[in-house]
Amino acid sequence: MTPIITAFERSPDRGRGLARDMRVRWALEEAGQAYDVRLVSFEAMKEPAHLALHPFGQIPTYEEAGLALFESGAIVLHVAERHPGLVPADANGRARAIAWMFAALNTVEPPIVERSMAVILERDEPWYEERLPMLDDRVRARLSELSSRLGDAEWLDDGFSAGDLLMVTVLRRLGGSGILEDYPNLCAYIARGEARPAYKRAFDAQLAVFAAAAPAG
């Protein structure tokens, strides 16, 4: 069975690769694994059929014969474990790649998401102007550490891995914030990820969903 993933019928980012189905699409493209996409509306995500797949009523989900998964990190790891190219074959290299996957999702993503949620939802609050610099500082602290570790290296460990895939998708969420520009090696790192043919195929597929849904003219 060709795996089926779920994605937004209408993504708030207009298909610019920021919703979390992007990381699953990218992993599947890196793996050379064909997949189908079921588009879901915000209403459908909260209905029983989707809640049976995803307890929190979100995207992405992943279905293949005999298996249904939720959580983008778990799905990417599942894909990485079944196809060559996303985690190294040797046990130590694999463990390090998984550590970077967790670092992307547990250490770097939270302050970035907290900042973006404030920008989206709290802009009109009286304390917003005071809170934003504090959120920026938390993001910058993580980026400084990540930037120091990456240095001049191409990828976080020996070669491109699922850790880089997740880290690049996490960092992209800062686009337009003006923060990334202070970390030229991270900008170059993101650009290297975005230049991968598999990334481009995944991005184009996500963008095509929005283009197909957008009213003509």
Which residues lie near ligand GTB (CB under 6 A)?
11-13, 18-20, 45, 57-60, 71-73
Identity of the residue, 12 or 159, whose beta carbon is nearer to ligand GTB in the bound complex: 12
Report CA-CA distances (Å) from 27 to 83, 102, 131, 174: 10, 16, 35, 21
As measured in angstroms, the least distance from the Cβ of 215 to ligand GTB is 19
> Which C-beta is closer to ligand GTB: that of 52 or that of 153?
52
- Specify which residues 62 forms β-bridges with: 5, 69
Considering Cα of 207, then 211, then 213, then 214, what sign does the dihedral take? positive
Q: How far is the CB of 89 from ligand GTB (least distance, A)?
A: 26
Output DSSP code: residue 107. I
CB atoms within 10 A of CB 11: 21
CB of 24 to ligand GTB, least distance (A): 8
- For ligand GTB, the closer of residues 153 and 214 by Cβ is 214
62: helix, coil or strand?
A: strand
Task: Name the residue nearer to ligand GTB (CB basis): 29 or 109.
Answer: 109
Q: Are 54 and 21 in contact (CB under 8 A)?
A: no
Smallest distance from the beta carbon of 6 to ligand GTB, in angstroms?
9
